[in-house]
Amino acid sequence: MIMTIRGHDTHEIARNSQDWPDRQLKMEPVSCTVDSDPRVGDCVTTQIFVERPDVMLFQGSARSVIAQLADASVDCIVTSPPYYGQRDYGVRGQLGLEDHPQQYVDKLVATFHEAKRVLKPTGSLWVNLGDTYWSGKGKPRGDDKKQKHRRFSRPQDKAGIRPWCAPKQLLLIPHRFAIAMQDDGWIVRNDNVWYKPSPTPDPVQDRCALAHEYVFHFVLKRRYYFNLAAVAVPSNGKRSTKPPPSVWEVASGHSSKVHPAVFPEELVRLPVLATCPPNGILLDPYCGSGTALVVAIKCGEGRHAIGIDISEQALTEARGHLPPPSNNQTKDPALA
């Protein structure tokens, strides 16, 4: 299995992804202008942050690092991008603080458009997204009763362009994103609902409390890799098992991680087992504290993982959570 990292200085570096450290690749930080598209940004710098037999971590913007990966080199992509207007990570070029939600959606779609080239034709893309409301109340003051991490000037606190950005409006960002992905050529297989039995308190008096997010499953082709046997659930019908339902009840759980927005390992297990084959490579372009990478390695069978994040702090934490390297390798590809 060959992994190629494409530089912007006209050279290409080919390496065996099952034996990454033997070559001791040292890719110098690459500064480049991605393009003039205002949805992407101006200048980015990428560099290898961690390199070991089963995991590579890159620091840089998602799109700039993906642009350096080889065609059809990744088996599946599992990620949870920063949600719109929910966190300020204090990093230049971060996603989620765009003035208008459409700019946020456009950036995500542009990144995953580049990911099409990197994902194998039989691969899957899983994207976890939550929604938010437009507030329009102005700059926040005092304590936030809902979220302690929201004490910053959020884009949705400003006066917005109606009718989309009206006060109290649920922005429907997850499904606007999914429709935009369809328009870009992706096939939506599921809009799985992540139901949280013990969600973050939502102290409102004029609507239902939010207790769910979405995990979209996208593919490129009609036929793709999906190991149903690995994720099937018991059935009382004629067959002993059946496909898992599209509503996943997974507790948010309490985490000791520094990263303020962590999704649980159990949420990632199904995508990994179903769509990352043995000896396959998982990519998380917004890896944060590394949950998807950790699950891929823990699931064994020779799986590898690539993580990308713009934040050095997040990558440092991700590195600390990685399980020990494993040399276990298995071959068992199957197409749905």
The alpha-helical segments, DSSP class H, found in 193-264 are 228-231
In the structure encoding, which two tokens stand for residue 149, read together? 């991490």
Task: Return mean pLDDT, the chain.
Answer: 81
- For 78, the domain range is 30-321
On the CB side of 319, CA atoms within 13 Å amount to 16
Cα–Cα distances (Å) from 34 to 31, 45, 102, 307, in that order, read 9, 10, 20, 20
Residues composing the chain? 336
In a domain, 257, yes or no: yes
pLDDT in tens, 88-99: 777 888 887 788
Domain at 280, CATH number: 3.40.50.150
- Rounded Cα distance, 262 and 83, in Å: 12
Residues 281 and 74: beta-carbon distance below 8 Å:
yes
pLDDT tens-digit profile of 133-185?
987 565 655 555 555 444 556 766 776 777 888 999 999 999 999 999 999 99
The number of domains in the chain is: 1
Domain assignment present for residue 17? The answer is no
What is the pTM for the complete model shown? Answer: 0.82
Please report whether residue 299 resides in a domain: yes
Q: Work out the widest C-alpha separation in the chain, in whole angstroms.
A: 60
Q: What percentage of the chain reaches a pLDDT higher than 90?
A: 61
Query: Is residue 125 situated within a structural domain?
Result: yes
Give the distance, in angstroms, between the CA of residue 194 and the centroid of all CA atoms in the same chain: 15
